Chain A
Amino acid sequence: MRLQLNDMARLLYFSWVREKIGTPAEEIPLPADVVTVTRLLDFLRACTPRHAEALAHPTLRVAVNQTHARADDPVSDQDEIAIFPPVSGG
């Protein structure tokens, strides 16, 4: 049986996603039905208005445990999940 205290997903935010949310990293307990990247983004958007605004753009990229992930890929509260936008500045 896992300890409750450890059951937190570690979220990392980059670029303007970080700026809009206001922190580069946070730990969040995930509800049992948050099992895919898509559901995770839906869940996070409902957390605060800042999250909702930061995560509204459809082109955001997600990496789960340091590997680029797609919408249907699994996530759990044991994972490190990075969310970053495509950036085009040169």
Chain B
Amino acid sequence: MQSSLLQLIIIQFKTFAREPEVIFWSLLFPILMAWGLGMAFNKENESVITIMQVKNDQYPDPSFRKFMETATEIKNINSPDGKAKERDVTIQGLGTTHYKVIDGTWEQAYVLLKRGVVNLVLEERTEGLQFHFDPKSGEAKASYLQFSSILKGKQDDLAQAMIKPLSQKGTRYIDFLIPGLIAMGLMMSTMWGISYSLIEKRSKKLLRRLVATPMSKSSFMVSQFVARFVLCAIEALVLYLFAKYFFDMTIEGNIPALITLFCAGFFAFCGIALLLASRTSNTFVGNGIINVVVMPMMLLSGIYFSYHNFPDAVIPYIQALPLTMIADGIRGVFLEGAGWAELVKPILILSTIGMVTFVSGLKVFKWY
């Protein structure tokens, strides 16, 4: 008869293979997400600026009226009284900007501002054209600067600037996204896969039944980890291959260092997962506990957008999160050609986190 460790691992794989949903959520879903986000941000999309005008025929602004002369009526627009015009303006190096100008009153303007439909409101007054916008919003500010330059007939100033579009590999959004998705997949798969399945086995009294046999407890844990590791590795590999063939991504840095980082990250999450699942037998409580740990990392660790937008004071804390360490590490190897020198620190820290949480989790682990 095969050893019990082997049997336990085989059973784990069989349960994965027999739940087709598992394959979808762990393999297909990240790819769909990468594809969707990659396409959305990679497209040569024309920028659209939607403006609300509060007309005052007593004080027409000549430059604005001139701009609107060549604008055409938009049909089927969701505006307060259905009146809106559009016009495209192309500037050398900046591409085409599509302007939509909606007619309305101040009341209507407030509604559309609140809904985020427009971020710029124009008003014709005695003293001239007035721009209303939130100066704290970068987008509104950019819309204002661009539109006011055009009205002043200074679009050439914009075009004369030395503009060189970035489309080089490694600087695209997809390049930023894929390493983040690999890191997040590792976290999600490990935390949910291991924690949840342990809690569920406890709530169904299966753990209790298992330890009433001579089964070795460490074999049981190892089987959980081994099976999950194989799944995580396949997941990461599939995502990478997709990015390689679909978005032409390459790994610039040291691959053995990358694999070691991946393993250290896996170990850290295994330990955390074990610790989180060590006491409760209620799957709802488990759900909450896992979310409390997973959600902040998902939001803060710079998976979708750089965490450098957060205040400087919190950045060191964000960088100390395991998910940030893994995502930054993978990004370093993928995009910046990082190697052992850069990765040795996160690898050591992650391994230590894994070791401490694993040992303490196992110590307080409730089998009954």
Chains A and B belong together in one complex: no
